[in-house]
Amino acid sequence: MNRSKLVIGIDIGTSGARAVAMAEDGTVVATGAAKLASHSDDHRDPIGWWKAVQAALVETLGGIDRQNVVALSIDGTSGTMLPVDEKGAPLAVPMMYNDTVADRAFLDAIAAHAPRESAAHGATSGLAKLLVFQSLPGIFRVIHQADWLAGHFTGLYDVSDENNALKTGYDPVSRSWPEWIEKTGARVDLLPNVLPAGTPVATISPMAAEAFGLSDDVVVVAGTTDGCASFLATGADQPGDGVSALGTTLTVKMLSDRPLFAPEYGLYSHRIGEMWLAGGASNTGGVVLAEHFSPERIAALSGEIDPDVETGLDYYPLVRPGERFPIADPDLAPRMSPRPADDASFLKAIFEGIAGVESLAYQRLTALGGPALQSLRSVGGGAKNTAWTAIRSRKLRVPFLPVISEEAAAGTARLALSGARKAGVL
């Protein structure tokens, strides 16, 4: 009798770890979660990361026949780096995705040699963190969070993926570490070997297989960043598929058949298979709504809104001057007047304004060389507001498709499925 083959996706985020077991058809059949705080009082403690991953994985495996697992993959926070020795032991406190490098000389060296469109610019870049760590005694590699955790399953601490490596200076177009990196003074011998996301890396180590009760032929698959995993989880998989995150800010992402780079908008592209994931973040979004209304008031007023009738107001909702995308202008002024007499109309005008920014954002991606938007999936708290959704649908004029999952771990599981097929175990 054929066993029902499963894969595991693991996500390590800022507050904890999650794992999902996924069947061949994409159905999630078991999940597990663990809070970092339950395993360490320091979110920079890699041992705490690993304990949380172990706990989430064990919980997930408890809901399935673990002998059915054929592959697993891991995503991590983009730009989180740690130096390790040959056995993978951390040599210093990791630098998290949002930790900044203060040494101006390092940042100036990158600025002098990195191409304008490289994602390695800036004080939080992976390359800047490599320059900080590279003089440590006994150093073997400087790797990303997901690389280190995957190494616990393979015993290899010198392998990364194209998405995590992007902010460390990797060139996804040529699929190589570019020559200019050495000119910054960086030790290129400390950079990991990079594989495309979803590529089989190695079979699980005997030690890890025994620890988790898994078969010794489980394939460990190159992972991705948490942001890319969240996009993949939605089910978007074709050029022109867009995903809007309606949270504190508005983030738009779209699959493209060609790379898009526009540093003036903070826009760069992740390579996923033979497609490219491009996106940008606006300063508009839920933060503007929260400035004027409580969640309860928004819910009540939304019931009074007729989304099919335009207010005629032309808002660009911002809390303060300054915008990143789809307009790159640090001095762009909020446009939120005149204010209607009644609150429902004011809320509606803000909804329309944010939807207008969203529409302009996708138009900008197309103008920069991407495909026209073909479909849209929505995540985040704002996606649950039916009046706002109807306004967005009217302005964007593409099919609004259901989101399969908002769990980054489910997106990483989809990479594991891809890798399992490439390895011939599915």
The verdict on 141 and 278 lying in the same domain is no
Residue 146 lies in a domain: yes
Residue 21 token pair = 């077991």
Residue 401 lies in a domain: no
The verdict on 246 and 324 lying in the same domain is yes
Name the pairing type of β-strands 241-246 and 250-256: antiparallel
**pLDDT(267) > 50:** yes
pLDDT digit string (tens) for 5-59?
Answer: 999 999 999 889 999 999 999 999 999 999 999 998 889 999 999 999 999 999 9
pLDDT digit string (tens) for 289-319?
Answer: 999 999 999 999 999 999 999 999 999 999 9
What pLDDT is attached to residue 41? Answer: 87
CB 43 within 8 A of CB 93: no
- Please name the residue that has the structure tokens 């360490």: 40
The verdict on 200 and 245 lying in the same domain is no
Write down the pTM of the prediction. Answer: 0.93
Residue 403 lies in a domain: no
Residue 183 lies in a domain: yes
Q: Please, what is the angle between helix 226-233 and helix 408-423, to 10°?
A: 80
Range of the domain at 103: 6-228+408-423
3-class DSSP state for residue 147?
Answer: helix
The verdict on 153 and 295 lying in the same domain is no
The CATH number linked to 391 is: 3.30.420.40
The verdict on 33 and 117 lying in the same domain is yes
Q: Within 10 Å of residue 193's Cβ, how many Cβ atoms?
A: 13
Number of domains in the chain: 2
The verdict on 119 and 77 lying in the same domain is yes
Residue 234 lies in a domain: no
